[in-house]
Copies of this chain bind each other. A is one copy, B any other.
Amino acid sequence: MLQLDRHDPRPVYEQVVDGLEQLIARGILAEDAQLPSVRQLAMELSINPNTVQKAYADLLNRGIIYSVKGRGNFVSGGSGIRETLLRNIRDEMLALLRQAKSLGATGDELEELMHSISEVIHE
């Protein structure tokens, strides 16, 4: 259901956050669905419960999940998380493009850049 890459330089809790975000964005974890319990997920991933807790806390205070003591963590409704994540991706791509421009890339180079990445759409 969720995989960690021990060689990924990003912190473990961040990988957990990203993984859960993806599951939610893709609808695999639907609105009001219960997430795995902190302890259980920790066991599955063989990491410390505190690390999972940290990931859940992050999702919680970004409004992506809600949490009820003694019951569990659940997917928030109407969070529009998929749209939000896509918007973030767009913004990051924009930032990269601007960086390319500040490097003095010519119009031709930028066109080619766009062309070469647009091919991946149809992979």
| Interface residues in chain A, defined as those with a beta carbon under 8 Å from any beta carbon in chain B | 6-9, 11-12, 22, 25-27, 32, 61, 66-71, 77, 82, 85-86, 89-90, 92-94, 96-105, 107, 109-111, 113-114, 116-118, 120-121, 123
A11 to B57, CA, bound (A): 15
Listed A/B pairs (27) with beta-carbon separation below 8 Å? A6-B32, A6-B68, A7-B66, A9-B66, A9-B67, A9-B68, A11-B70, A12-B70, A22-B102, A22-B103, A25-B103, A26-B103, A27-B104, A61-B61, A82-B103, A86-B109, A86-B113, A89-B97, A89-B99, A89-B100, A89-B103, A93-B96, A94-B120, A97-B120, A111-B121, A114-B114, A114-B117
